[in-house]
C-alpha cells in the first residue's frame, strides 16, 4: 500500500505495527527523567510503564476514549511520576509517531490530532492526580497540626 493510499482510518493499524518503537521511545523517556519523579520507581517498573503507555496510546487510537487517557494520567501521578517525566512521555509519543508512522498529508493531520487529544487528556488526568495527592498531603499535615496543638494544650 503506497503512502497516497493510506487513509486516516488506517492510523491505529499502522501505529500498532510500530508498537515496539513506540514502547522503546516511552521507556527511554522514563529512564531519562527517572530522577525527576516524586517517588522512586524501579528500573523494571519504568520499562513496564513504557510498555503500558504504548498499549494505552494504541488503544486510544482504536477507541478515542479520552476518559481512559485521563485515568492513565491520574494513575501515573499516583505512581509518583514527576512533571518532567509526564512531559517527556508526551513528547516521546509525538516523536515516535512521527518517526514510525512516516505520515504525510491527511495521515499527518489525523496523527497530530490524535496525539494532541491523547496527550491533552493524559496531562489533564495527571494534573488531577497530582492535585488529589497535594490535597491528601495538606489534609494529613492539617490533622498532624491539630494533634500537636491538642497535645500541647493537654501538656
Question: Per-residue pLDDT for 27 more than 90?
Answer: yes
Residue 103: per-residue pLDDT: 67
Q: Which one, of 2, 85, 90, lies nearest residue 37 by Cα?
A: 85
Give the model confidence (pLDDT) of 54-101 as tens digits.
999 999 999 999 999 999 999 999 999 999 999 999 999 999 988 876
Q: How confident is the model at residue 41 (pLDDT cuts 50, 70, 90)?
A: very high
DSSP 49-81: HHHHHHHHHHHHHHH--HHHHHHHHHHHHHTT-
Percent of the chain with pLDDT over 70: 93
**pLDDT recorded at residue 3:** 43
CA distance 155 to 151: 6
Domain ranges of the chain: 10-129
The CATH number of the structural domain formed by 10-129 is 1.10.490.10
Amino acid at each position: 500500500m503506497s503512502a497516497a493510499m493510506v487513509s486516516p482510518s488506517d492510523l491505529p493499524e499502522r501505529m500498532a505495527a510500530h508498537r515496539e518503537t513506540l514502547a522503546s521511545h516511552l521507556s527511554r523517556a522514563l529512564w531519562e527523567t527517572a530522577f525527576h519523579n516524586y517517588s522512586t520507581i524501579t528500573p523494571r517498573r519504568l520499562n513496564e510503564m513504557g510498555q503500558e503507555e504504548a498499549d494505552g496510546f494504541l488503544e486510544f487510537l482504536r477507541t478515542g476514549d479520552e476518559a481512559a487517557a485521563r485515568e492513565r494520567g491520574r494513575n501515573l501521578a499516583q505512581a509518583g511520576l514527576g512533571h518532567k517525566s509526564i512531559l517527556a512521555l508526551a513528547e516521546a509519543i509525538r516523536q515516535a509517531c512521527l518517526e514510525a508512522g512516516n505520515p504525510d498529508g491527511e495521515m499527518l493531520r489525523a496523527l497530530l490530532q490524535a496525539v494532541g487529544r491523547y496527550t491533552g487528556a493524559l496531562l489533564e488526568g495527571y494534573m488531577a492526580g497530582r492535585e488529589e495527592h497535594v490535597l491528601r498531603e495538606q489534609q494529613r499535615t492539617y490533622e498532624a497540626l491539630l494533634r500537636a496543638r491538642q497535645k500541647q494544650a493537654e501538656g
